[in-house]
């Protein structure tokens, strides 16, 4: 690892100041992505600004049907939180299925979505649930937040503070694991909520997480696994790599959508 | 006897391993410790035109940057392959030069061109990135097909067309005739997927030069420290043997990858002398994927003929094997003498011919990996049997039974003389345990759940206990493959066993103690095992090829014979009895039929105080023996795998895996089961998960656990295991056959035979990932 300077930010202002002061400063949450990249010399930030001790950055609160999840809340906390389990059990299950216990007790929702790995789980969940990403400067709809592979709408120096989710009527997430990393080779989150039926797919898109219009239309008409049968899932625009061709991923999108509807 | 042969004694070494007290190479810290990091080629094939070290040298804390010109200039020799293979036209193999640090060319991604020595490991790695190498890229041949192609880039000048040898075994004309008269011929085109061994502990070396004594000490992650010293001394000119001590302390797994002497150990020794510092290098996982020798990587076409009763009339094999960019220590022997002699399987086959051509490619060297040649042979033979049975409409178990060797000794047409076994009985044991009769009902039940259920066999044999030295020598081996042992009985009666075998997870500290405890009626606690240090153990050939039991333990038994003879003489003298009447039992040395006896420790004391020994007897109680096997040992077994496939996703679950095996005498059934669990799991890894992938440019595409899938607990079932112990090896004193590799050898065909049974097509290559299985199902539609 290249030498770096560690800062423990006490407030958002503190973090912003440190970000601006550093030559190539980066925010640090659970370190499950960033530290690993640094060890491999794939990242070499001059400064690390740890956001986890900032007041209000961690923990879950519920207001009626709305969940507010602090950006530095760990996957394990989300998975085990009673309000999440009550209002959106599919999201609790998603968080509980990320990585392994060591990852879940350190990795955070903010770090995961800021990173926007094309195979990560949260992007599918937040996109399907029509979540709102709250930062220190504004609110961003999930539809606008996830822009492409490892890219988001976040500006330089912008800090995610929380994520807001409205409880859906019904929802489920099913992922088919890539055999080595156990990340999603394909993951499908189906949700039927205030914003209608939404089907978000992770692991498969060349541009990262996406919604599938054909499946959404079919499930809007009939929330049944058989409704997906007549939908054709095009392999254009899907990833193809050593773990799965675009055609195989297209097949999985359909199979997993059906299974998710059955599980919802 | 409580702790003797056959007792499931808990492993003595596990307390230190499970409480973090193990002492591994990377745990060694010397006062003058410095750290090495290697500058590695990012290209698979390139000319090295210049190396600019100025930026690295300017960094504070960088001690030196050394290159290949300096290394060869100091007389460090090229890395060699220790087994000479002769082509069928009589010409010797074409071994290209391999310098520990590349001089003119780099030949694979990861090839080392320079080494940075610095005050910390982190700094050494940062400085290594600051070394600027001027490369001229050359065309790349990253696989066998590319290396064989017309106009392929020439990787080593002395290997035209990149071919290393074109070798054969068996009678081609007789085999062709056997195939010509067959009523049915089955043809298979098969690849054996390339694997990365992945021991849990990565390779590491700590080399220390003592200028006052002109002496070197090397701590290293080796399966065979004496062979390392021999080669470092005799071929790489690091130092004469008496000036070089090699210690392999606790080693966290090897699987073959830690047999070889790699560029890094050589470079660290030399750099220690150059800088007068102790040099430590520890591989990280990425470096391990790039530089540890890989395994397998064959492409084979084979034909097997059968008469109208299903008896095999001939078996003809044509194999292409990938050796990688350089010839590693045993690389030449793996696709030849560790492969073709296994082509007879458990079967009585009169005519076999095997042709093997090996090629250089721009990939990391390929060498022995758990099973080494025998998994490749077994995969071919056992897929052949299952496929042929399906084509002929026969029960695959029945086809095997009709062809089993039933009488011993049995001479195959491919060198081996099988000495013992009971193949029909072992197959029956496996069938009973697997409830073959109930399979159809289980299949029907699975179908109701939308799952395809399938069943596959593998009845395998392997040759272990490498190897009779004379025979190995006549086939090209550069060393003898005996083993040595020393049994030291201390004055208080406790015993130390010095063995040339090396334990890197096998449990020698327990099993070797058990055979001593058994022999002399002592508790295992009174016996300790010393291994892995060339200053303590005089010589040894190390551990690989399941040889510690058949060869290493046999040497201990021979030394114990000598100890026993002396103990009896001392007791007879002291107790005034005839030597012939002395028996050793339960820690007592007795005169049989009387109440006269000495405690074991009293004999030890008598030997060392030497107050009252027979006149012509030397004091002390310590004996040495070398054991050279007269034959290989032949472990065998029957595996039955049962799977369920989800046709929508191709996901396969192994629902049952049954192993019935013949390992001869079993010293510790708990440890043997552990070996079967580990071996079968590795075999399942090869069958369903693992494959090293290089792209056309020779870039490694899956050099981390994010992309290279190793089997996890959730990927394997709870195994059903039973042992047949009624056919002990007649060729070693304990009757042991070896159990370290059987699982990895026998499992892959059982798994693939089961999956192809489930999905109804034979066209499926390893690894049978969900995508591969789904593709096979689509293609067969
Ligand atoms: C072995 C392993 C398995 C895994 N398996 C899975 C899996 O199955 N599914 C899955 O989805 N993920 C998986 N992950 C990734 C894991 O979920 C990570 O936790 C997540 O990607 C990053 O979260 P983090 O808190 O560790 O962020 P860090 O690594 O600390 O940071 C990641 C990035 O986010 C930025 N960042 C962090 N916090 C903020 C913030 N508040 N505002 C703005 N930017 C911020 C950082 O600057 C950095 O660029 C796995 C990781 C590992 C190591």
pLDDT in tens, B255-306: 999 999 999 999 999 999 999 999 999 999 999 999 999 999 999 999 999 9
Identify which of A1, A41, A251 has the shortest CB distance to residue B774: A251
Q: Which residues, in sequence order, are CB contacts of B152 under 8 Å at separation 6+? A: B141, B146, B161, B162
B366 bridge partner residues: B294
Cβ within 8 Å, pair A248-B648: no
Cβ within 8 Å, pair B706-A181: yes
Cβ within 8 Å, pair B122-A176: no
ipTM of the complex: 0.96
Residue nearest (by alpha carbon) to ligand 1 atom 12: A120
Q: Which residues, in sequence order, are CB contacts of B147 under 8 Å at separation 6+? A: B141, B155, B162, B322, B359, B360, B361
B195 bridge partner residues: B295
Q: Which residues of A touch B286 (CB under 8 A)?
A: 40
Q: Where are the alpha helices (DSSP H) in B435-468?
A: 439-448
**Before B33, cis peptide (omega within 30)?**
no
The DSSP bridge pattern shows strands A25-28 and A47-50 to be parallel
3-state DSSP call for residue A242?
A: coil
Quick one: fold of A5-50?
A: 3.30.43
Q: How far is the CA of A30 from the centre of ligand 1 (A)?
A: 7
Closest CA relative to residue B46, chosen from B126, B113, B131: B113
Q: How far is the CA of B222 from the centre of ligand 1 (A)?
A: 37
Give residue B194's pLDDT. 98
The DSSP bridge pattern shows strands B622-627 and B652-662 to be unpaired
**Taking residues B114-128, what's their average pLDDT?**
98
Give residue A223's pLDDT. 98
B477 bridge partner residues: B83
Whole-angstrom CA distances from B158 to B154, B165, B167 are: 9, 12, 17
Residue nearest (by alpha carbon) to ligand 1 atom 23: A111
**How far, in Å, CA of B441 to CA of B561, rounded?**
56
**How far, in Å, CA of A60 to CA of B641, rounded?**
47
- Ligand 1 — pocket residues by CB below 6 A? A 26-34, 36, 51, 71, 98-99, 103, 106-108, 110-112, 114-115, 117, 120-122, 159-160, 182-183
Q: How far is the CA of B685 from the centre of ligand 1 (A)?
A: 29
pLDDT of residue B663 exceeding 90? yes
**Taking residues B714-720, what's their average pLDDT?**
96
CB atoms within 10 A of CB A221: 10
- In this prediction, residue B1 has a pLDDT band, given cuts at 50, 70 and 90, of confident
What is the overall mean pLDDT for chain B?
97
**Taking residues B186-215, what's their average pLDDT?**
97
Closest CA relative to residue B311, chosen from B375, B374, B401: B401
Phi, psi at residue B553, to the nearest 5°? -65, -35
As a CATH number, domain A170-263 is 3.30.390.50
Give residue B467's pLDDT. 87
Q: What percent of chain B has pLDDT over 90?
A: 98
Whole-angstrom CA distances from B375 to B38, B457, B461, B743 are: 33, 15, 10, 9
Q: Which residues, in sequence order, are CB contacts of B44 under 8 Å at separation 6+? A: B106, B107, B108, B109, B140, B142, B362, B363, B694, B697, B698, B699
3-state DSSP call for residue A257?
A: helix
Q: How far is the CA of A28 from the centre of ligand 1 (A)?
A: 9
3-state DSSP call for residue B528?
A: strand
Identify which of B122, B709, B774 has the shortest CB distance to residue A180: B709
Taking the CA of residue B438 and the nearest CA in chain A, the distance in Å comes to 31
Q: Which residues, in sequence order, are CB contacts of B672 under 8 Å at separation 6+? A: B663, B666, B723, B739
Query: Widest CA span of chain A, in angstroms?
Result: 56
Residue nearest (by alpha carbon) to ligand 1 atom 38: A111
Out of A112, A122, A149, mutate this one to test ligand 1's pocket (max ligand atoms within 8 Å of CB): namely A112
User: Closest ligand 1 atom, CA of A26?
Assistant: 47
Q: Which residue of A has its CA nearest to B701?
A: A242
Pick the CATH number of A60-166 from 3.30.720.210, 1.20.1050.10, 3.30.465.10, 3.40.50.300: 3.30.465.10
User: Phi-psi region for residue B371, left (φ > 0), alpha (ψ -120 to 50) or beta?
Assistant: left
In which residue ranges of chain A is CATH 3.30.43.10 found? 5-50
pLDDT tens-digit map of A60-117: 999 999 999 999 999 999 999 999 999 999 999 999 999 999 999 999 999 999 999 9
- In this prediction, residue B358 has a pLDDT band, given cuts at 50, 70 and 90, of very high
Out of A19, A32, A116, mutate this one to test ligand 1's pocket (max ligand atoms within 8 Å of CB): namely A32
CB atoms within 10 A of CB A83: 18
Are the beta carbons of B738 and B465 closer than 8 angstroms? yes
Q: Which residues of A touch B125 (CB under 8 A)?
A: 41
Cβ within 8 Å, pair B771-A251: no
pLDDT tens-digit map of A141-178: 999 999 999 999 999 999 999 999 999 999 999 999 99
Report chain B residues touching chain A, CB-CB < 8 A.
122, 125-126, 129, 286, 648-651, 689, 693, 701-702, 705-710, 769-771, 774-775
- In this prediction, residue B586 has a pLDDT band, given cuts at 50, 70 and 90, of confident
Phi, psi at residue B662, to the nearest 5°? -125, 100
In which residue ranges of chain A is CATH 3.30.465.10 found? 60-166
Phi, psi at residue A203, to the nearest 5°? 85, -15
User: Closest ligand 1 atom, CA of A160?
Assistant: 42
Q: Where are the alpha helices (DSSP H) in B121-253?
A: 121-130, 144-148, 172-180, 225-234
The domains found in chain B, sorted by start residue, are 15-138+200-253+258-291 (3.90.1170.50), 370-467+631-780 (3.30.365.10), 483-536+543-623 (3.30.365.10)
pLDDT tens-digit map of A188-218: 999 999 989 999 999 999 999 999 999 999 9
Give residue B2's pLDDT. 85
Q: How far is the CA of B58 from the centre of ligand 1 (A)?
A: 36
Please give the structure tokens belonging to residue B487.
Answer: 């049994």
Q: How far is the CA of A58 from the centre of ligand 1 (A)?
A: 15
Give residue B466's pLDDT. 87
The span from the first CA to the last CA of chain B, in angstroms, equals: 61
**Taking residues B357-381, what's their average pLDDT?**
98
Cβ within 8 Å, pair B701-A242: yes
Taking the CA of residue A241 and the nearest CA in chain B, the distance in Å comes to 10
**How far, in Å, CA of B107 to CA of B596, rounded?**
72
Q: Which residues of A touch B649 (CB under 8 A)?
A: 176, 251-252, 255
The span from the first CA to the last CA of chain A, in angstroms, equals: 44
B533 bridge partner residues: B247
pLDDT of residue B64 exceeding 90? yes
**B26-33, long-range: CB < 8 A, 24+ apart:** B26/B201, B26/B204, B26/B206, B26/B280, B26/B282, B27/B249, B28/B206, B28/B219, B28/B249, B28/B280, B29/B280, B30/B206, B30/B208, B30/B278, B30/B280, B31/B278, B32/B208, B32/B276, B32/B277, B32/B278, B33/B206, B33/B277, B33/B278, B33/B280
| Tokens 């049997």 found at | B385
Q: Which residues of A touch B775 (CB under 8 A)?
A: 245, 248
3-state DSSP call for residue B616?
A: coil
Give residue B564's pLDDT. 97
**How far, in Å, CA of B313 to CA of B305, rounded?**
5
Q: Which residues, in sequence order, are CB contacts of A115 under 8 Å at separation 6+? A: A33, A150
pLDDT tens-digit map of B75-104: 999 999 999 999 999 999 999 999 999 999
pLDDT of residue A49 exceeding 90? yes
- In this prediction, residue B653 has a pLDDT band, given cuts at 50, 70 and 90, of very high
Are the beta carbons of B592 and B522 closer than 8 angstroms? no
Are the beta carbons of B216 and B243 closer than 8 angstroms? yes
Closest CA relative to residue B746, chosen from B399, B370, B452, B408: B370
**Taking residues A221-236, what's their average pLDDT?**
97
**How far, in Å, CA of B235 to CA of B80, rounded?**
8
Classify residue B695 by its DSSP letter: -
Please give the structure tokens belonging to residue B46.
Answer: 């390139």
């Amino acid at each position: 690892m290249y030498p770096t300077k560690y800062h423990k930010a006490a407030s958002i202002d503190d973090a912003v100041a440190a970000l601006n002061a550093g030559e190539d400063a980066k925010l640090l949450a659970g370190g499950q992505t960033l530290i690993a990249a640094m060890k491999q010399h794939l990242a070499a930030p001059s400064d690390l600004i740890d956001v986890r001790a900032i007041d209000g950055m961690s923990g879950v609160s519920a207001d009626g049907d709305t969940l507010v999840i602090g950006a530095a809340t760990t996957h394990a906390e989300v998975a085990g939180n009673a309000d999440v389990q009550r209002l959106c059990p599919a999201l609790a299950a998603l968080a509980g299925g990320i990585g392994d216990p060591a990852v879940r007790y350190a990795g955070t929702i903010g770090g995961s979505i800021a990173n926007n790995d094309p195979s990560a789980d949260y992007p599918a969940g937040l996109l399907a649930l029509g979540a709102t990403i709250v930062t220190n400067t504004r609110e961003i709809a999930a539809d606008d937040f996830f822009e492409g592979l490892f890219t988001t709408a976040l500006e330089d120096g912008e800090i995610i503070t929380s994520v807001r989710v409205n409880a859906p009527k019904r929802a489920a997430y099913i992922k088919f694991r890539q055999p080595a990393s156990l990340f999603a080779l394909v993951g499908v989150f189906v949700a039927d909520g205030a914003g209608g039926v939404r089907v978000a797919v992770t692991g498969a898109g060349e541009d990262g997480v996406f919604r599938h219009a054909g499946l959404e239309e079919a499930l809007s008409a009939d929330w049944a696994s058989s409704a997906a049968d007549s939908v054709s899932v095009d392999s254009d625009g899907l990833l193809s790599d050593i773990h799965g061709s675009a055609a195989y991923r297209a097949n999985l999108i359909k199979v997993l959508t059906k299974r998710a509807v059955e599980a919802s | 006897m409580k702790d003797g042969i056959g007792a499931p004694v808990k492993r003595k070494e596990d307390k230190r391993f499970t409480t973090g007290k193990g002492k591994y190479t990377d745990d060694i810290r010397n006062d003058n410790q410095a750290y090495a990091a290697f500058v590695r080629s990012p290209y698979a094939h390139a000319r090295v035109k210049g190396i600019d070290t100025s930026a690295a040298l300017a960094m504070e804390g960088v001690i030196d940057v050394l290159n290949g010109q300096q290394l060869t200039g100091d007389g460090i020799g090229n890395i060699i392959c220790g087994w000479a293979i002769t082509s069928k036209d009589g010409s010797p193999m074409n071994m290209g030069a391999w310098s520990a640090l590349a001089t003119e060319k780099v030949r694979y991604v990861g090839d080392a061109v320079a080494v940075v020595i610095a005050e910390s490991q982190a700094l050494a790695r940062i400085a290594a990135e600051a070394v600027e190498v001027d490369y001229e890229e050359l065309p790349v041949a990253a696989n066998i097909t590319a290396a064989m192609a017309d106009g392929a880039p020439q990787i080593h000048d002395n290997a035209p067309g990149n071919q290393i040898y074109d070798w054969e075994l068996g009678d081609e004309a007789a085999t062709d005739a056997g195939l010509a008269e067959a009523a049915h011929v089955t043809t298979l085109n098969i690849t054996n997927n390339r694997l990365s061994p992945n021991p849990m502990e990565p390779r590491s070396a700590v080399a220390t030069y003592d200028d006052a004594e002109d002496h070197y000490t090397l701590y290293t992650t080796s399966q065979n420290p004496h062979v390392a010293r021999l080669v470092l001394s005799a071929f790489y000119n690091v130092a004469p043997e008496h000036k070089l001590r090699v210690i392999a302390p606790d080693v966290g797994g090897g699987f073959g990858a830690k047999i070889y002497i790699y560029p890094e150990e050589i470079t660290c020794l030399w750099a220690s002398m150059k800088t007068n510092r102790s040099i430590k290098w520890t591989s990280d996982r990425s470096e391990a994927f790039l530089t540890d020798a890989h395994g397998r990587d064959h492409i084979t076409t084979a034909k097997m003929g059968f008469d109208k009763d299903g008896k095999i009339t001939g078996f003809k094999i044509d194999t292409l094997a990938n050796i990688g960019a350089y010839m590693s220590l045993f690389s030449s022997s793996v696709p030849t003498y560790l492969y073709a002699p296994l082509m007879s399987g458990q079967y009585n086959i009169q005519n076999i011919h095997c042709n093997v051509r090996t090629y250089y490619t721009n990939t990391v060297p390929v060498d022995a990996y758990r099973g080494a040649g025998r998994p490749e042979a077994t995969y071919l033979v056992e897929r052949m049997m299952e496929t042929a049975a399906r084509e002929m409409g026969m029960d695959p178990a029945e086809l095997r039974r009709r062809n089993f060797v039933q009488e011993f000794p049995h001479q195959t047409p491919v060198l081996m003389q099988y000495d013992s076994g009971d193949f029909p009985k072992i197959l029956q044991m496996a069938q009973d345990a697997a409830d073959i009769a109930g399979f159809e009902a289980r299949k029907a039940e699975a179908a109701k759940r939308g799952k395809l259920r399938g069943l596959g066999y593998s009845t395998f044999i392997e040759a272990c206990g490498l190897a009779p030295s004379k025979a190995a020598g006549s086939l090209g081996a550069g060393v003898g493959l005996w083993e040595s042992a020393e049994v030291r009985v201390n004055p208080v009666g406790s015993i130390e066993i010095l063995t040339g075998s090396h334990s890197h997870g096998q449990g020698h500290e327990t099993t070797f103690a058990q055979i001593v405890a058994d022999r002399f009626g002592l508790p295992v606690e009174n016996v300790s095992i010393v291994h892995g240090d060339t200053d303590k153990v005089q010589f040894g050939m190390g551990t690989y090829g399941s040889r510690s039991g058949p060869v290493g333990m046999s040497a201990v038994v021979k030394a114990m014979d000598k100890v026993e003879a002396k103990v009896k003489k001392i007791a007879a003298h002291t107790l005034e009895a005839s030597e012939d009447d002395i028996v050793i039992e339960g820690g007592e040395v007795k005169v049989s039929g009387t109440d006269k006896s000495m405690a074991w420790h009293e004999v030890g004391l008598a030997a060392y105080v030497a107050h009252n020994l027979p006149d012509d007897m030397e004091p002390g109680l310590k004996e040495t023996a070398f054991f050279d096997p007269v034959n290989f040992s032949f472990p065998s077994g029957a595996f039955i795998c049962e799977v369920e496939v989800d046709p929508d996703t191709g996901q396969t679950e192994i629902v049952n895996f049954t192993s019935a095996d013949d390992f001869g005498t079993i010293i510790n059934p708990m440890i043997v089961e552990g070996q079967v669990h580990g071996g079968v799991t590795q075999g399942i890894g090869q069958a369903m998960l693992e494959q090293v992938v290089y792209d056309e440019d020779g870039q490694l595409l899956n050099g981390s656990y994010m992309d290279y899938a190793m089997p996890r607990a959730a990927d394997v079932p709870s195994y059903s295991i039973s042992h047949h112990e009624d056919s002990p090896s007649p060729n070693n004193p304990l009757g042991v056959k070896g159990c370290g590799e059987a699982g990895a050898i026998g499992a892959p065909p059982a798994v693939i035979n089961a999956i192809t049974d489930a999905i109804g097509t034979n066209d499926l290559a390893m690894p049978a990932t969900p995508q591969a299985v789904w593709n096979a199902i689509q293609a067969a539609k």
